[in-house]
Structure 1
């Protein structure tokens, strides 16, 4: 007949982005109903730790990509704002500038501020689109805000994942230590079957 003692309920709580909360094992004997449950429980904890570590690596990569992308968006937004400011000023003088063609190659250009109506922005995947200055500023501002929000979420998720990994490592140690104590008790009582 199956043991009617049930395991502690598995948590269905998640963080704001759906990452599940690791189970906290306060009392091992409530969580593990018998010594036969120890190995499957330890395997389950190790599997969960591996999943959290996988999520941690992916979140770190996503955060690193955002940290590299944000300065580029900020620089582009500053340039669009500068062009808008130059267009709005009553100066008819042309804008003399050097622009980057490649990492080590620059070209000199003269841009008429009177004719400045739009900018061309790289969107990625070898796609460039023309935007009116106002639309470009709005789009870049929204993109910067979304990237900064995503970076904040990544950092928050990394902290959360580290906490869950630590919780599971502690739970693993508790279950293992409980099993060791139970084996010693069984050996002392002469019940050792292994």
Structure 2
């Protein structure tokens, strides 16, 4: 067996190598008398790498699954503000979810102007405050790392849609990669078991041959006495 990497040249679209399935253990080792410890160590190293990637991707998947609903909620709200500003009639997007946005904001006063939009916003996990939104064509979006920028409503919608599409695509690829990784972990665990069992069988056969040879020598000595 070569001392290089055990991984095959085949990789998934994100470059994760496919694990080889060892059909013939003796041929893979390079002979019937080759020690298995170096091969088993290679298998354990490969398993450690796969599990490390699995842990990272699992964490990334969890982050995306938490992030995507927030992006969708923000996008829905900005689209609502844009349609409200354009004078289009649209139901409160959060009415069925129990938010305190009120239907009265669509009612117009006698002079044709709209009533201010009343809503609540989150200060902490269990703390909310009421706010009255003025008519505006801009919103402020958190971009991470304590950065907030002002965007026009159309630009904010474009940005949020782009971020949502990217996050959903990343989530799909993360799920695909996790499934691929778990298949490779299973293959390497099977390979490890096959090599270990092959070595146990080889040791037993050697021991049986040694006992048979010892028994044969004792019989010859008795006959020659």
Residues 7 and 17, structure 2, Cα contact 8 Å, conserved in 1: no
- For 1:51, the equivalent position in structure 2 comes to 49
Q: Which has the higher contact order (CA 8 A, sep 6+)?
A: 1
**Aligned pairs, how many?**
185
1:175 maps to 195
Normalised to the residue count of structure 2, the TM-score between the two structures is 0.76
**Aligned in 2, Cα 1:124/1:10: closer, same or farther, shift over 3 Å?**
closer
User: 2:7, 2:18 within 8 Å by CA — same for their partners in 1?
Assistant: no
Query: Per-residue CA shift, 1:95-153, capped at 9, x if unaligned?
Result: 2222223333333333233xx11100011111100011111001101101111111111
Q: Tell me which moved more, 100-109 or 62-71.
A: 100-109
Which runs of no fewer than 5 residues in structure 1 stay unpaired?
A: none
Structure 2: give runs of 5+ residues left out of the alignment. 89-107, 212-225
Q: 2:134 aligns with which of 87, 109, 112?
A: 112
User: C-alpha deviations, 1:16-75, integer Å up to 9, x for none?
Assistant: 111111111011122111343411001110111111111111111010111111111111
Shift in Å, 1:6: 6.3
**Partner of residue 149 from structure 1, selected from 166, 169, 192:** 169
Normalised TM-score (structure 1): 0.87
Distance between the aligned counterparts of 1:108 and 1:181, measured in 2? 74
Q: 1:164 to 1:10 in 2, by over 3 A?
A: closer
Aligned-pair distance for 1:10?
A: 4.4
1:7-22 mapped onto 2 (5 Å cutoff)? 10-22=7-19
